[in-house]
Amino acid sequence: MTTTVAPVDALTRIWETPRGLYGALISVDHKTIGKRYLVTAFAFFLLAGLEALGMRAQLTHGDARLLSPETYDQLFTMHGVTMMFLFASPILSGFSNYLWPLMIGARDMAYPRVNALSYWTFVMAGLFICASGLIGRAPDGGWFAYVPLTGAAYSPGPNLDFYTLGLIFLGISSTVGAVNFVATFFTMRAPGMSVNRVPIILWGTLTASFAILFFMPALTVSCVLLYLDRHVGTHFFDAAAGGHPLLWQHLFWLFGHPWVYIIVLPGIGIASDIIPTFCRRPLIGYTFIALSTVMTMVLGSGVWVHHMFATGLPQLSTSFFSGASMMIAIPSGVSVVAWLVTIWHGRPRLSVPFLFVCGFIVLFVIGGVSGVMTAAVPFDVQLHDSYFVVAHLHYVLIGINVFPVFAGFYYWFPKITGRMLNEARGRVVFWLMFVGMNLAFFPMHIAGMLGMPRRIYTYPAGMGWDGVNLTTSIGAIVFAVGVALFLFDVVRSRMKGAKAGNNPWEAPTLEWSMSSPPPPYNFAVLPTVRSSYPLWEPWLLGRQVSDIDQGPVLDDGRETFGTSALDAAPVGVLHMPEDSAWPLVQSLALTWVFIALLVSAWVWAAAGLAAVAATLVGWLWPNPREGPGPTAPSRLWAMRLVVLTEACFFAYLLFSYWYLGSIAPTWPPANIGTQSLGIALPNTLILIASSVTFWWGEMGIKRGSLTRLRLGLALTFVLGAVFLGLQLVEYAHQSVTPQTNAYGSLFFTITGFHGAHVAVGLFMNLILQVWAWRGAFSQDEHGFVSNAGLYWHFVDAVWVFVFGSLYLIPRVV
């Protein structure tokens, strides 16, 4: 229905979340979730700030005894973990969750319930990690938790278990959130909003989301392996039994370096979208900035070894990564030039958001230059583990994450709350934070040059470090005062701030076209976009070419447009799900699992997993009102992306296998020999056959034959179950155990995780069979069958690689 007068009352009824506590718990509204992300992540920011102030109090002068070494270790570790994992990324998720649908002309994210799951899981994982501090057993091995220090021998308490399990838990939140962003980008942009017209923050978050899907599994694998070493007696990092500590560093930094870009690229997007508004002109070099965002990530994914220059790696190897690291300066420099040229050719208005963006550019350049310096191997080796590195990483992370985030707060606070923050107080906040930041961290460069190592809880007076440390501590206090004043401003402005109106900054993008705060349905009519700056068209083009105030209403339930990936041509109407308690319930069940694993209560952990499975069944159970779901494009994206990230998980496991194999005298160890093909070969054929039966059944339903689908699913189930049974038989005949040596640890871990995936596939198969017998599928509605089929084929394909690596190649090489 196309109209100029939308039935806003009906839309409000459709999209509004029920009031009260229950409504708050079941809400899947992206605006609610976005605000919760912002508030929760900011609370973690304050916690991390207090931890930092504790450290600075200790380091203000030499020979201080305010904190014990153990407490200091916990403080600096938790400061890093909290900032990196619980603030820097989630705060950007908050902005993106709140803003994306408003910016792209949609009524919600692609998967609203998954969005809620992402938030609740983030909260639970954050509380899980921080709970360690309440019992005085916070992680204490640094945010990168190098082994062997973090192994059971040197860290016997539960401290590092909070770390490993907490980060695996948090990884679930990040991953499902990333799936949601990617699917939303490619399927839900307003008609006409082609990829060359999206705000830069979308490019930043999209790039970061892909990076999460590719690299988060490396962190998950490293944490799983460390947990197994600590609790099951495996030997992944035990050099005496064929493992190697450098395996941890490779896995961690394969994740860790991209993570830096994950937490800065959306920040760069925020700054890039604010600059045009306050310079009163379109962004110069849009294509270059969008592409720089993506290129920085691609280059950044191939430089992880520059964190390992001091580990004794061969010169030629390090030089490859040194060159690649320096190349990151190219896209970064291009972006800086584009921003400066835009400012130069604009008519800058020095409002508070723009001040923070200017601060961001200055800090970005300083942090970038010291980054190029540390990319040079001789320089890095000299200053490795010194305070110079601490200075560099804080210029990068505070400069490119915290400052854009504060710019975003000042810029979008009026949209979120309907009230303006105080401009005069904001200027004071900016200068306190900017001066405090430089006062705190610039002297750290000097401290590093003077030889002050990182992670020391105190230092002898008279080393020449007292002055720079005192300056740093004063800077930290100034910075903290700025943050405190910002908090005061937020509270006061929320109650008494000036009314904002729809578009207080006269900004050009879609989120400013609606009331502040936005209505539950976002857009009364769904817009059609024909330029990058739809609200500036009368000024830029002399007339309004985008349709903002008239268009389709879509009020037959929760509906929004589905569009094509590149040019955003309409492809259908998406029916969005209702509010639901399942995301919260499932995150509680996951919490149960991780608490049980923390205390090594295996039976309780298994029961928790059963609870998770039960919540999945409840979540996915066909809703008589919604049905099993249409075969809409966004439905298919989720499984594709899950398969992508799962493939990366197995790639990192197989990388571990080949890495340890490459440094072992013989692989498999001589006393073990190669794996027998007696069971594995027929088992492989059985698993491949199960793919054929699934495909046969799926083809059946595509032709309308429910009977063929039922038969295909049943045959697949039997073959998959036989595969698992034979694998157990093979385990019983193995000459090694997971505790024998690193080879045994890897063999059982890789095949075990694959077996677990087969079991999940069988579980999905069972659900499909139940639905098939209830007649829930038809020729037109079989999206879940296709999704489950993709997963099953993926699991089978993974086995081909596992079989090749563990069984075949060792026989040949």
Residues in the site for other proteins, rule: CB under 8 A?
Answer: 194-197, 244, 282, 286-288, 290-291, 294-295, 298-299, 301-302, 305, 312-317, 319-321, 323-324, 327, 330-331, 530-533, 540-541, 545, 566-567, 662-665
In whole angstroms, the minimum distance from the beta carbon of 764 to other proteins comes to: 31
End-to-end CA gap in the chain = 66
In whole angstroms, the minimum distance from the beta carbon of 256 to other proteins comes to: 17
Nearer to other proteins, 97 or 531 (CB): 531
Nearer to other proteins, 197 or 754 (CB): 197
Contact (CB, 8 A) for 594 and 164: no
In whole angstroms, the minimum distance from the beta carbon of 198 to other proteins comes to: 10
In whole angstroms, the minimum distance from the beta carbon of 782 to other proteins comes to: 27
Contact (CB, 8 A) for 473 and 64: no
In whole angstroms, the minimum distance from the beta carbon of 102 to other proteins comes to: 21
Contact (CB, 8 A) for 579 and 14: no
Say how far apart CA 367 and CA 394 lie, in whole Å: 8
In whole angstroms, the minimum distance from the beta carbon of 245 to other proteins comes to: 12
Nearer to other proteins, 304 or 771 (CB): 304
Apex 273 CA angle, 110 and 538, nearest 5 = 95
In whole angstroms, the minimum distance from the beta carbon of 13 to other proteins comes to: 36
Q: To 10 degrees, the CA torsion angle through 39, 40, 44, 50? A: 50
In whole angstroms, the minimum distance from the beta carbon of 594 to other proteins comes to: 33
In whole angstroms, the minimum distance from the beta carbon of 548 to other proteins comes to: 14
| Type of residue found at 170 | L
Say how far apart CA 699 and CA 717 lie, in whole Å: 17
Nearer to other proteins, 233 or 285 (CB): 285
In whole angstroms, the minimum distance from the beta carbon of 156 to other proteins comes to: 28
573 - beta bridge partners? 561
In whole angstroms, the minimum distance from the beta carbon of 532 to other proteins comes to: 7
Nearer to other proteins, 5 or 381 (CB): 381
Nearer to other proteins, 294 or 474 (CB): 294
Tokens matching residue 206: 């999209």
The set of residues, in sequence order, having a beta carbon less than 8 Å from that of 665 and lying 6+ positions away, is none
Given 3-state DSSP classes, what are the helix, strand and coil percentages for the chain, each rounded to the nearest 5? Answer: 70, 5, 25
Say how far apart CA 45 and CA 79 lie, in whole Å: 9
In whole angstroms, the minimum distance from the beta carbon of 320 to other proteins comes to: 5
**Nearest CA-CA partner of 225 in 243, 209, 240, 239:** 243
Contact (CB, 8 A) for 151 and 230: yes
Nearer to other proteins, 313 or 607 (CB): 313
Nearer to other proteins, 115 or 184 (CB): 184
Say how far apart CA 290 and CA 703 lie, in whole Å: 43
Contact (CB, 8 A) for 45 and 89: no
Nearer to other proteins, 314 or 775 (CB): 314
Nearer to other proteins, 213 or 295 (CB): 295
Say how far apart CA 119 and CA 40 lie, in whole Å: 10
In whole angstroms, the minimum distance from the beta carbon of 657 to other proteins comes to: 14
In whole angstroms, the minimum distance from the beta carbon of 281 to other proteins comes to: 12
Say how far apart CA 792 and CA 664 lie, in whole Å: 34
Tokens matching residue 177: 């959130």
Nearer to other proteins, 288 or 442 (CB): 288
In whole angstroms, the minimum distance from the beta carbon of 541 to other proteins comes to: 6
Contact (CB, 8 A) for 148 and 154: yes
CB neighbourhood size of 355 (10 A)? 22
Nearer to other proteins, 26 or 201 (CB): 201
Write the DSSP symbol of residue 305: G
Say how far apart CA 493 and CA 743 lie, in whole Å: 61
- How many angstroms separate the Cα of 558 from the Cα of each of 184, 257, 457, 621? 16, 40, 56, 19
CB neighbourhood size of 345 (10 A)? 11
Q: To 10 degrees, the CA torsion angle through 509, 515, 516, 520? A: -100
Nearer to other proteins, 68 or 317 (CB): 317
572 - beta bridge partners? 562
In whole angstroms, the minimum distance from the beta carbon of 367 to other proteins comes to: 21
561 - beta bridge partners? 573
Say how far apart CA 590 and CA 597 lie, in whole Å: 11
Q: How far is CA 252 from its chain centroid?
A: 15
Say how far apart CA 600 and CA 73 lie, in whole Å: 25
Nearer to other proteins, 304 or 592 (CB): 304
The set of residues, in sequence order, having a beta carbon less than 8 Å from that of 610 and lying 6+ positions away, is none
CB neighbourhood size of 461 (10 A)? 12
**Nearest CA-CA partner of 89 in 251, 258, 220, 294:** 258
Nearer to other proteins, 46 or 327 (CB): 327
- How many angstroms separate the Cα of 322 from the Cα of each of 373, 391, 738, 754? 10, 20, 37, 36
Nearer to other proteins, 317 or 676 (CB): 317
The answer for 505, left when phi > 0, alpha when psi is -120 to 50, beta otherwise, is alpha
In whole angstroms, the minimum distance from the beta carbon of 201 to other proteins comes to: 17
In whole angstroms, the minimum distance from the beta carbon of 812 to other proteins comes to: 18
- For 524, phi and psi rounded to 5 degrees? -65, -40
Contact (CB, 8 A) for 252 and 144: yes
Contact (CB, 8 A) for 694 and 716: yes
